Amino acid sequence: MKPAPFRYVAPRSVDETLALLAEHGAEGKILAGGQSLVPLLNMRLARPQVIVDINGIRSLAYIRRKDDHLHVGALTRQRAVEESATVRRQVPLLWEAIRFVGHPQIRTRGTVGGSLAHADPSAELPAVAAALDAELVVRSPSGERALSPGEFFAGYLTTALEPTDLLTEIRFPLLPERTGTAFVEVARRHGDFALVGVAAVVRRSDGTIAEARLAFTGVGPGPVRARGAEGRLAGSAGTSRVFADAAREAAARLDPESEIHATAQYRRDVAATLARRALELAWQRSGGRTR
């Protein structure tokens, strides 16, 4: 199928974009990489009156370090992140996860901001943002604000973005020394939507877990942080037993849904295994030895 008719505008700047969004309100829709929007248009699941194509705004595509954050412009292609030595060195969790986004063809067009703003419940990047406590910078006619993942992700395919808002930048905090991260996911085939994915961050202090963070994707309406398990891990010894118990506790609190590719029970069961493996891998990468 082809999309329903729409008006097409291609602003050259953020200010121009904001003005257009303010003009069209809920009738306008931002086109970034188009990897989610175009199928929705073609299947006529979305019928915006106006497409605001921001691909011409070069100033929104960048990867740069600023103080203790890595700033990634919202229009940065996923492929650019994957190929960035800076990302690989500074935010390895983002680098590891981005390769699970679709296929190379998709990542070549798809953008970091687009994936976050689309907020697919099985997407990788929202879980990465959640696990890293990234800041999501939003511009609106009234100014700029930075949202935490908890504030930004509002539910199934829903964010805190108003129709007049533009996500412009994502700020990933750089992790301190002796911190390891891991992203793992289960899909039926390579490149398929994740049935369950887990992002883990573990900071080590000798044989003890100083801090741990765990975020799931594919098991809820949006990314799910396992705060209870994180609290339990902090201060514990980095042993297989501790990781397994925390992973089980985290999975037990999940409420995934059944669909044709996986039962809820499989998702919950596998979430526990994945969380344990992700935590252990992150721990090893922090320099810790598993006992």
Partner 1 sequence: MSVRTVRKTRGVVGESVRRVDGVPKVKGQFLFGSDLWAEGMLWGHTVRSPHPSARIRSIDISKALARPGVAAVLVAQDVPGKKTYGLEFADQPVLAWDRVRYAGEPVTILAAVDPETARRAASLINVDYEILPAVTDMEQALRPDAPKVHDFGNILRHIRIEHGRSAKADVWVEGYYETGMQDQAPLGPESGMAIPAEDGGVDLYVATQWLHVDREQIAPCLNLPLEKVRLHLAGVGGAFGAREDVSMQIHACMLALRTGRPVKMSYTREESFYGHVHRHPAHVWMRHGARRDGTLVYVYARLVLDGGAYASSSAAVIHNAATFAAGPYEVPNALIEATCVYTNNPPCGAMRSFGAVQAAIGYEAQMDKLAKALGMPPIQLRLKNVVSPGSVLPTGQVIRGSAPVRELIRRCAAIPLPPEEPAERRDPLSLPGGAGNVSRGERLKRGVGFAVGYKNIAYSGGFDDSAEARVRLFRGPGGAIAEVHSAAAEVGQGIHTVLVQIARTELGIEHVVLHPPDTNVGSAGSTSASRQTMMSGGAVQLACQAVKKDLFARVRRWAQAEGRTVPEPLTVEGGMVLAAGEPLAPIEEFLETPIEQTRVYHHRPTTPIDEKGQGEPHVSFGFAAERAVVEVDEELGLVRVVQIAAAQDVGRALNPQGVYGQIEGGTAQGLGFALMEEIQLKDGLIKNASFTDYLIPTILDMPPVVSELIEEPEPGVPFGAKGVGEMSTIVSTPAIVAALRSATGRELNRIPVRPDDLIGLSPPVTSPGPPPSPEVPGPEPIPKYVGLAAGQAILGGTE
Q: Which two tokens stand for residue 133?
A: 């406590």
119, 175, 274, 275: residue in contact with partner 1 (rule CB under 8 A): 274
Interaction between residue 211 and partner 1 (CB under 8 A)? no
Interaction between residue 266 and partner 1 (CB under 8 A)? yes
Residue 20 CB coordination number (10 Å): 19
> Could you tell me the smallest distance in angstroms from the CB atom of residue 135 to partner 1?
26
Taking the CA atoms of 184, 189, 190 and 193 in sequence, report the sign of the dihedral they define.
Answer: negative
- Choose between 6 and 266: whose C-beta lies nearer to partner 1: 266
270, 275, 279, 282: residue in contact with partner 1 (rule CB under 8 A): 270
- Choose between 30 and 270: whose C-beta lies nearer to partner 1: 270
Quote the Cα angle for 94-148-52, to 5°.
80
Interaction between residue 105 and partner 1 (CB under 8 A)? no
Phi-psi map region of 232: left, alpha, beta (phi>0 left; psi -120 to 50 alpha): alpha
**Burial bucket for residue 260 (CB in 10 Å: 0-12, 13-18, 19+):** exposed
Q: Looking only at residues 156 through 195 of this chain, which bind partner 1 when binding is defined by CB under 8 A?
A: 182-192, 194
Q: Is 6 helix (H, G, I), strand (E, B) or coil?
A: coil
> Could you tell me the smallest distance in angstroms from the CB atom of residue 229 to partner 1?
18
Q: Are 253 and 228 in contact (CB under 8 A)?
A: yes
Cα separation, 243 vs 184, whole angstroms: 15
Interaction between residue 260 and partner 1 (CB under 8 A)? yes
Interaction between residue 215 and partner 1 (CB under 8 A)? no
- Choose between 59 and 265: whose C-beta lies nearer to partner 1: 265
Q: In what order do the strands lie in the sheet with 179-186?
A: 179-186, 196-205, 208-217, 224-225
Interaction between residue 216 and partner 1 (CB under 8 A)? no
- Choose between 205 and 290: whose C-beta lies nearer to partner 1: 290
- 172 contact partners, CB below 8 Å, separation of at least 6: 69, 70, 72, 90, 91, 94, 129, 132, 134
Site track 84-103 with partner 1 (rule: CB under 8 A), x = hit: ------------x---x---
Interaction between residue 66 and partner 1 (CB under 8 A)? no
Interaction between residue 246 and partner 1 (CB under 8 A)? no
> Could you tell me the smallest distance in angstroms from the CB atom of residue 128 to partner 1?
13
Residue 154 CB coordination number (10 Å): 14
Name the site residues for partner 1 (rule: CB under 8 A): 1-2, 96, 100, 182-192, 194, 197, 260-263, 265-266, 269-270, 273-274, 277, 281
